[in-house]
Amino acid sequence: MLVVGERINSTRKRIREAVRARDGQFIASEAKKQVEAGADYIDVNAGTSVAHEIDDIKWLVETVQSAVEEPLCLDSANPEALKAALSLAAKKVIINSITGEKARMDSILPLVVDSGSSVVALVMDDSGLPEDFEGRMAAADKLIPALEAAGMSRDRIYVDPLVRPVSTDTRQGLAVLKTVNAVMAKCPGIHTICGLSNVSFGLPVRNVLNSTFLALMIQAGLDSAIIDPTEPRMIAAVAAAEALLGRDDFCMNYIMAQRSGRIIL
């Protein structure tokens, strides 16, 4: 299971303040905490200040890379910001994200292809956000071939089924689970990923919903997730689900997670 640490996102007030103040010590600490908790990639997002996004994401890339060795997930819809960040990236990145929308394909896909990056591919297009399983799969069935036609191998494509809150539509959780299962079955070698915490938006005790949904998503075939690895029970859910589903030989990853303190009751 590939874990992308989501905490360094300027939509979070404390991160936004740190970026504005160029508080490198705080950002470095956030990166290190996520790696220690189990993150394989660190997501960096500076998109809340459009006027300063290019400078901000460049600073974040340099700051995070000076603190940890793990590669980055560059989270931006701005092709110029992505280009600037790519020029500083020390390792191959994941670009988060692209969609089937023509404008996004035209502006971001060339950056992905030219840089050899992997990409998060959201299952939506110019018709808007899909409401159900059928809409998600219709978008995926167009988006995946388009990426492959541009030269992307499946192992560089991370399909995002668009997790939406169950608080406003209780059908959304099942639609996402079905989408992950279908994509993984139809497209061997491809990855699935999601920003999982959206599922619990607006509800109490969100950690219970997040960790339970993560386990269900792993059972459906999810092999990557954008999560807060420091959140109690999240890494425990990953380790437990993979052990129970036969994806962890002799349960060694589960045992090592427990010994390293990553399984928190």
Q: What is the mean pLDDT of the segment spanning 33-59? A: 95
Q: What is the mean pLDDT of the segment spanning 86-91? A: 98
Question: What's residue 232's pLDDT?
Answer: 83
Arithmetic mean of pLDDT over the chain: 96
Percent of the chain surpassing pLDDT 90:
96
CA–CA dist 96, 77 (Å, integer): 8
- Whether the Cβ atoms of residue 89 and residue 72 lie closer than 8 Å to each other: yes
Structure tokens at 98: 């692209």
Q: Return the number of other C-beta atoms located less than 10 Å from residue 42's C-beta.
A: 26
Question: What's residue 218's pLDDT?
Answer: 98
Percent of the chain surpassing pLDDT 70:
100
Structure tokens at 213: 């949904």
- Using left for φ > 0, alpha for ψ between -120 and 50, and beta otherwise, residue 160 falls in beta
62 lies in some domain: yes
Tell me: pLDDT of 261 over 90: no
pLDDT digits (tens, 9 = 90+) for 197-250: 999 999 999 999 999 999 999 999 999 999 999 998 999 999 999 999 999 999
92 lies in some domain: yes
CA 45 to centroid of chain Cα atoms: 11
- Whether the Cβ atoms of residue 234 and residue 246 lie closer than 8 Å to each other: no
The CATH number that applies at residue 221 is 3.20.20.20
Question: What's residue 152's pLDDT?
Answer: 97
Question: What's residue 208's pLDDT?
Answer: 95
Which residues have C-beta within 8 Å of that of residue 98, sequence separation ≥ 6?
A: 104, 105, 108, 109, 112, 119, 120, 121, 122, 147
Instruction: Name the domain count of the chain.
Output: 1
265 lies in some domain: no
- Whether the Cβ atoms of residue 11 and residue 46 lie closer than 8 Å to each other: no
pLDDT digits (tens, 9 = 90+) for 130-165: 999 999 999 999 999 999 999 999 999 999 999 999
Report residue 263's pLDDT band, with 50, 70 and 90 as the boundaries: confident
Q: Return the number of other C-beta atoms located less than 10 Å from residue 110's C-beta.
A: 13
Tell me: pLDDT of 265 over 80: no
221 lies in some domain: yes
264 lies in some domain: no
pLDDT digits (tens, 9 = 90+) for 235-250: 999 999 999 999 999 9
Task: Name the residue range of residue 227's domain.
Answer: 2-259
Structure tokens at 117: 């990056």
Which residues have C-beta within 8 Å of that of residue 226, sequence separation ≥ 6?
A: 4, 6, 43, 73, 96, 193, 194, 195, 196
pTM: 0.96
Residues 214-227, buried b or exposed e (16+ Cβ, 10 A)? Answer: bbbbbebbbbbbbb
Which residues have C-beta within 8 Å of that of residue 151, sequence separation ≥ 6?
A: 113
Tell me: pLDDT of 262 over 90: no
